[in-house]
Amino acid sequence: MTIKEIQEEIIEEFSMFENWEERYQYMIDLGKSLPLIEDQYKTEDHLIKGCQSRVWVHSEMKEDKVVFTADSDAIITKGIIAILIRVFSNQNPKDILEADTKFIDEIGLKEHLSPTRANGLVSMIKQLKMYALAYQTQMN
């Protein structure tokens, strides 16, 4: 699936819920299905700077695709990173770099987060794109 198709699928899923309480519960459930990072990567080097919670992200290249794993010590944050990994994992670096993240506004996520969590969300996206940029540079 393309990044755009995955984003549209997420928008559709979120539209099924009537209120934000249900959406938060869905995000918590998504967090439980997160491809977990191996303990060896739960280090300062893999922490995302700018997040209120602790969020670790690891990436590697597999057959020209970036594969992400992550974990967080906060359940909502774990759900947020799970959504982002669902969108960006198993995609090529160029597509990750060119992808927009308007779907976040379309599901209303940013406006329903505290300012510190919203900043963390931006930091997570930036970090995932930085990994993609590093791989893109290595490929050229």
> Is 112 one of the annotated active-site residues of the chain?
no
Helix axes 115-139, 75-88, angle to 10 degrees: 30
Cα 116 to chain centroid distance, Å, stands at: 16
- Torsion on CA atoms 93, 135, 49, 85, rounded to nearest 10: 40
The helix/strand/coil state of 37 is: coil
Catalytic residue among 30, 34, 51, 132: 51
Q: What are phi and psi of 83, to 5 degrees?
A: -65, -45
Residues with catalytic roles: 51
